[in-house]
Amino acid sequence: AWVVVATGAAGDVSTRPHRRAQTPRECERLGALVAGAVLRGLRRPARSAVSGEVRVRRVQVPLSPKPPGAPATGPLEERLRAAERGGDPVAIRTAWTALQAARLAAVQPSPTDLSCAVSVAGVGPLSLVALGAEPYLDMAVRLDRAATGPAVLIGYTNGYLGYLPVREAYRRPEYEVLRTPVAPGGAEHVLARATELMGEVHD
């Protein structure tokens, strides 16, 4: 038996709504919650027969950058003031990080080479799909629908592009969308290429 711990599709899975503090002790608490879920899964592991070689495919997928120009900070500043008046700490933190991202985007240089590493390893019927970015959770859902067998989506692999939001996410000016260098549609393009590679490794 073997165990792999990896970061999956968590680009839009922030601890902002759940964390109680930003301290080492809070990291330990959150880590214990994750570890508990892992332990429960280990008591009933999935079983799959694996025969033959592990087949791997890897490509760099070119992506289009967002149009030049920084996002307007005025509406985000007003959103922060409204959140502060409301007193909800989660809303305040969310509004503040969005404003922070807009300010960072204003001084962020345009990328010279915008591409995402896409790798697929076929281990028996299982597809391990690795992206050099922080994919949004919905990408894992879509990958699962497109796969003909079990598939696992992993981020932070063979490079780091940044956040990779799905197209619908660009409607909301949140931190991750404001920080990504990728234009809308990039996640869907990467997912389509990953789906093609899954077909190749299991052909």
Q: 150-160 pLDDT, tens per residue?
A: 999 999 999 99
> 138 to each of 50, 97, 133, 172, how far by Cα in Å?
28, 22, 14, 15
Claim to verify: residue 138 and residue 191 sit in the same structural domain: yes
Claim to verify: residue 103 and residue 170 sit in the same structural domain: no
Residue 90: domain span: 74-107
The mean per-residue pLDDT over the stretch 174-181 comes to 94
pLDDT at 171: 94
pLDDT at 139 over 80: yes
Claim to verify: residue 47 and residue 136 sit in the same structural domain: yes
Claim to verify: residue 53 and residue 120 sit in the same structural domain: yes
- Assess if residue 17 is contained within a domain: no
* Between 141 and 47, residue with greater pLDDT: 141
Claim to verify: residue 31 and residue 126 sit in the same structural domain: yes
The mean per-residue pLDDT over the stretch 70-86 comes to 94
Claim to verify: residue 122 and residue 162 sit in the same structural domain: yes
pLDDT at 110 over 80: no
Residue corresponding to tokens 């879509």? 142
Ranking 36-45, 148-157, 173-182, 187-196 by mean pLDDT, the lowest is 36-45
- Assess if residue 14 is contained within a domain: no
pLDDT at 8 over 90: no
The tally of domains found in the chain comes to 2
pLDDT at 158: 93
Claim to verify: residue 190 and residue 118 sit in the same structural domain: yes
Claim to verify: residue 178 and residue 83 sit in the same structural domain: no
Given 51, 84, 107, the domain boundary residue is: 107
* Among 14, 12, 6, 17, residue whose Cα is nearest residue 138: 12
Query: Band of the pLDDT at 12, cuts 50, 70, 90?
Result: confident
pLDDT at 51: 65
pLDDT at 3: 64
Ranking 4-18, 76-90, 91-105, 135-149 by mean pLDDT, the lowest is 4-18
